[in-house]
Structures are given as structure tokens and as C-alpha cells.
Chain A
Amino acid sequence: MTATSSPRPSQISTDPCISLQNVTISYNEFEAVRHVYCEIPRGKITALIGPSGCGKSTILRSLNRMNDLIEGCSLTGRVMFDGDDLYSPNIDPVEVRRRIGMVFQQPNPFPKSIYENIAFGARINGYKGDMNELVERSLRQAAVWDECKDKLKESGCSLSGGQQQRLCIARTIAIEPEVILMDEPCSALDPISTLKIEETMHELKNRFTIVIVTHNMQQAVRVSDFTAFFNAEAQEGGSGKVGYLVEFNETEKIFHSPAQEATQNYISGRFG
């Protein structure tokens, strides 16, 4: 099966939050992912899984125009959110990112105090409430309050990698976006913190739509309601592998009765 005859648009969700329509993303000449159709349901957790380099991060970044920062990155197709195509020329990417927040693969706290790390985003988003209260609530939700309640004035970079990542999650929660994108948020965390983050996600999903990239199958099974499986395939005449969406369905179905053989191979570890 080739990328071009990839699956039909999935019709599972009645209330799509973000919908990707024939999205192709390239870095300069190189096509990283091609022809993705996908409807991310509102108020659910959607997991993106797939082998390294298949374009999961690329797709995720395209959902809040973070790819704008990468020179030479271009997108064709449509990404619909709230009735608008995110890539139509009159859209303000800043506005988009205020409503679709992101947690990155590598923890990247600001070189400011822990308190400021949370307050900065809230402030530029026009938060008018009690800042102390917001900082505490966000840190609690991200399961990092106990570790930093005594050192809110210290630099965010003085925390351990795992703590930094939870600080970054707290920072994103604090601006209360409608959608939270997470790129392997737990890859630098120990199992306990991972569990805490997963609990947090369960709580958050009542209010937010969450899209998470993960390499951990168990995690996908534990937290997500829907799963998209991406794969990469060498193209004839092309340089490098091009990613595409193989299958998108309820997590239950993906892991117990996948429609595609590639999915079956990947989730059972027989991939190669």
C-alpha cells in the first residue's frame, strides 16, 4: 500500500476540533509527510504514534503554526480549526498559539524564575486574576508544585530535566488554551512523574482537547481515546522517507483490531 492511496478520511468523530485535509508538509524540497486527512475530536486525547522520523512532530507543530519558525518549511492542504483554515493568509499565528498551546519534546523553560515562567505567558495573554493563585494551581496540576513551592524565585533552569518538563506543562496549562499539543512530554520523566502527568491529562481532557506524540504504546493505550498511526516509506525517485498516516481510529480498535497490517506489525513490535 502506498502513501497516496492512504485511508479515507475517518468519520468517527461527530465533533471535530481540528481537521487536517490533505495536508502535505515539506522542508525545502523534501516532503516530510504527505496527504494527511485526519479529524481530531474535541475534548478527547488523541495519540500520534509511529516510527522515528515519520513526521509526528512535524504534523504536531503544524497544528499551531510552530513550523513558521523553521525556515524553508511549507504546508499545502488545509488545517481547519474553529471554522477557519489556520493557514489562510489573514490568520494571526500569535492568536492561534494562544488558543492551541504546546509542550515540546525537549524541556525548554525560560531562563527566568519558576514563578516568571508561568506568569510570563499568562501576562501576555492578558490574565487579570490572582497571579499567585494561578501559579500554584498550574504547578499543582502539572504535579510539580511540591518540588518547587519553596523555590519559586529560583531559575527554571535549575530544576531537573523531568521537573523542567512539568514546569513547561504547567506553563502551558496556565494560559488555558483550548487545545494542548504535547510532543513526547514524558520522554525525560521517571515512571512516577509519568503517571502523574497521565493523571493530569485525564483531568484536563474534560476541558481541553489534547494531542500527544508518544513512543510508548502502553502510554497511548492508557491515556488516549483515539490513536493515529503514522509510517514512513521510501519514495521512488525521492530522497529520504516520506511519512503518511496509515490509520486513525479509536485507540481500542487500533490496538486490538487494526485494519492495516503495518499497524499490526508496529504495535506488536514486529516492525522493520
Chain B
Amino acid sequence: MPTGVQKELYVLRRRPAYEKFVDSSFRTIAISMASMVALILVAILIVVFWGSLESMGRYGWKFLVTSNWNPVDDEYGVLTAIYGTAVTSLLSLLIAIPLGVGTAIFITESFIPTRAKNIIGLMIELLAAIPSVVLGLWAIFVMEPFLRPLLSFLYIYFGWIPFFSTQPMGPGMTPAILILVVMILPIITAISRDSLNQVPISLRQAAYGVGATRWSTIINVILPAAISGIAGGVLLALGRAMGETMAVTMIIGNSNNFSWSLLGPGNTIAAMLANQFGEADGTQVSSLYYAAFILMVITLAVNIVSQWLVKRLSLKY
């Protein structure tokens, strides 16, 4: 058609239709893939909510405060699992915060050579990579037998306290709490470490400059400056602890009977789902969905607040 050397050399000077098509369809594909995230999230919420409608209608709020879980009479209340979820996650947090923040301080302030710091940091990252089912196996065969005499001691001498009021006889809440500590420690350590590293050196200099000691600097100046990031990490860990399933299921004992005792078996919402969901039918399924919905809403709220806190930190410096 056209004449002239130029046009023959650059036959693609005008973009052919197929190239435009590739371009625009690629864009469309990318958008739809990004939308998948939103789609899945909304679908999960809908599915879980839909599944729990029957149980919600039947038990309403009472579901949260009654503790009989009885497939025979078809009566369900989730208090035992809520108590278990709250107690295991909060107590494990209570132990993991000082450990994690202490470790983070130890590997960010210059107590030990950089090499040693990196090795400890690496080991903690690897700890995060160990699958929870392996930790559960270890808890069953190693930790719990080792722990039992100690817990029996608690029972014998402090049995009058409701929390120690049952004889430890195998899986129970305490080993579950300890294994949760192992699982959330890396999260708290990693995020605390990042937050501490972001505190500008000039603040350190300021404190040392007026004659503060190392720990006075850490406690009065550095930790307060890093606190919002650390708090975000702690909340993230809380969300993880509440939703953690396998290790807890394997070691908590899966008891549906309510007990205050931390030495005896208990249950968490996640463990209950893992245990019963596959074999349940009727109202039990719906009740499990209801429990899942509660877990989902709480973890979502915790996660959103933690994201907000972590973002606030990155805005400040």
C-alpha cells in the first residue's frame, strides 16, 4: 500500500490492533487478579456468616455465655472455647511480650557483636518457619511429659486457686499456652526489632549526652519512641495466637466441659473447628460456623487495629 522506504522499515509504526488488545487485556487481567483478594475476603465473611444463621437464630447472644456443648441434646454454647481462646492467647502474650521485646532490645542495642546479633535474629526467623504441626508433635511427646511434674506441683500446693484446681493428666491449657508463646515470639521479636531500629540515632545521642546510662536510655527514650510499632506487633501476635490451630488442637485436650483450671484440658474456637467440623451435622455445623464467625470478627478487629498502629509508626519517622 504505502510507498517510501521509511514506512517499509517501520512496519509497526502504527500500533496493530492485536498489540492494543494484548495491552488492554493484560490490564484487565491484572485488575481482576487484584480484585480476587477482595472477592475472597468478602466471600469468606459471607460463607461463614451464612452458615451461622441457623445457630444465631436459635441461640442468639446466649450462645456466647453458655458452656454446654452437647451434640446429643443438640444444645450448643461456646463459652468454654471463648474462655480457652481468651486465656491461652492473653497469657501466652503476657509471657511472649517481655521475652520478645527483651530479645529485640538485646539484638538491636550494641550488647554483642553484629555477627552474634545476626545469628540470633536468623534463629528467631527460622523458629517462625517451623510448621505448627511439628511444634504440636514436639509438645505432645517432649514438652508435656517434661512439664507434668512441675504442673502437678502447682496442683498439689496451689490447688485451692481455681486456676490450678485440677490434676494435670496430659494435654491441657498450660502446654497450649507455652507452645503459643513459641509461635508468637518470632512475630513480636521481629516487629519490635524493626521498630527499635527505626528510632533515630540522634535520640540515643541526646540521652547519652545528658549522662543517661544505657538502660535508662532504652527505657525512658528508645522504648517510648518505638512503642506504637511494638504495640502493633503485639496485636498482630494476639491475632495469630487466637487463630492458631494445629499445635493448640494437638496439646489442649479438646474438652467441651467448662473449667477454670489451666492445668486441665480445655478448648479454643480454632481447635474446636479442627476437631469437629469434619464430622458434625445439623445444628452443630451451624454452631461451628457461628463460632468461626466470632473468631473471624475478633481477629479482623485485632488485625485492623494492629495495622493502623504499625502504619502510625512508619509515618512518624
In the complex, A102 Cα to B212 Cα: how many Å?
12
Which one of B110, B202, B211 lies within 8 Å of A104 (CB-CB)? B202
In the complex, A175 Cα to B210 Cα: how many Å?
7
* Residue B96 CB within 8 A of the other chain: no
Mask of A95-121 contacts with B, CB within 8 angstroms, 1/0? 101100111101011111000000011
Secondary structure dominating the interface of B: helix
Return chain A residues, CB-CB under 8 Å to B202. Answer: 104, 106, 108
* Residue A125 CB within 8 A of the other chain: yes
Closest to B213 in A: A94
* Residue B206 CB within 8 A of the other chain: yes
* Residue B148 CB within 8 A of the other chain: no
In the complex, A209 Cα to B110 Cα: how many Å?
31
Mask of B44-58 contacts with A, CB within 8 angstroms, 1/0? 000000000000000
Which one of A95, A104, A111, A125 lies within 8 Å of B224 (CB-CB)? A111
Which one of B114, B209, B220 lies within 8 Å of A97 (CB-CB)? B209
* Residue B240 CB within 8 A of the other chain: no
In the complex, A94 Cα to B208 Cα: how many Å?
7
Q: Is the CB of B206 within 8 A of A168?
A: yes
* Residue A71 CB within 8 A of the other chain: yes
* Residue B28 CB within 8 A of the other chain: no
A81 to chain B, nearest CB (A): 15
Which one of A69, A97, A106 lies within 8 Å of B204 (CB-CB)? A69
A64, A104, A111, A172, most chain B CB atoms within 10 A = A111
* A71-B114, A111-B224 as given contacts; A172 in contact with B203, CB under 8 Å: no
* A71-B110, A71-B114, A104-B202 as given contacts; A124 in contact with B209, CB under 8 Å: no
* Residue B257 CB within 8 A of the other chain: no
Closest to A175 in B: B210
Q: Is the CB of A104 within 8 A of B213?
A: no
Q: Is the CB of B211 within 8 A of A110?
A: no
* Residue B294 CB within 8 A of the other chain: no
Mask of B176-218 contacts with A, CB within 8 angstroms, 1/0? 0000000000000000000000001111111111111100100
Return chain A residues, CB-CB under 8 Å to B203. Answer: 108, 110-111
Return chain A residues, CB-CB under 8 Å to B201. Answer: 69
B200, B202, B211, B213, most chain A CB atoms within 10 A = B211
Return chain A residues, CB-CB under 8 Å to B216. Answer: 124
Closest to A118 in B: B210
Closest to B113 in A: A71
Closest to B209 in A: A102
Which one of A66, A95, A172 lies within 8 Å of B205 (CB-CB)? A66
In the complex, A125 Cα to B206 Cα: how many Å?
14
In the complex, A103 Cα to B110 Cα: how many Å?
23
Q: Is the CB of A110 within 8 A of B209?
A: no
In the complex, A124 Cα to B210 Cα: how many Å?
9
In the complex, A111 Cα to B226 Cα: how many Å?
11
Return chain B residues, CB-CB under 8 Å to A101. Answer: 209-211
* Residue A34 CB within 8 A of the other chain: no
* Residue A44 CB within 8 A of the other chain: no
* A108-B202, A110-B203, A124-B216 as given contacts; A97 in contact with B208, CB under 8 Å: yes
Which one of B204, B211, B224, B225 lies within 8 Å of A121 (CB-CB)? B211
For window 213-235 of chain B, which residues contact chain A by CB distance below 8 Å? 213, 216, 220-221, 224-225
* Residue A171 CB within 8 A of the other chain: yes
Return chain B residues, CB-CB under 8 Å to A111. Answer: 203, 224-225
Given A106-B202, A121-B212; 13 other pairs, CB 8 A cutoff = A66-B208, A94-B208, A95-B211, A97-B210, A101-B211, A102-B209, A111-B224, A120-B210, A124-B212, A124-B216, A125-B210, A175-B210, A175-B211
Return chain B residues, CB-CB under 8 Å to A66. Answer: 205, 208-209
Return chain B residues, CB-CB under 8 Å to A102. Answer: 205, 209
Q: Is the CB of B210 within 8 A of A171?
A: yes
A69, A101, A106, most chain B CB atoms within 10 A = A69
A112 to chain B, nearest CB (A): 8
Q: Is the CB of A110 within 8 A of B207?
A: yes
Mask of A124-161 contacts with B, CB within 8 angstroms, 1/0? 11000000000000000000000000000000000000
Closest to A181 in B: B209
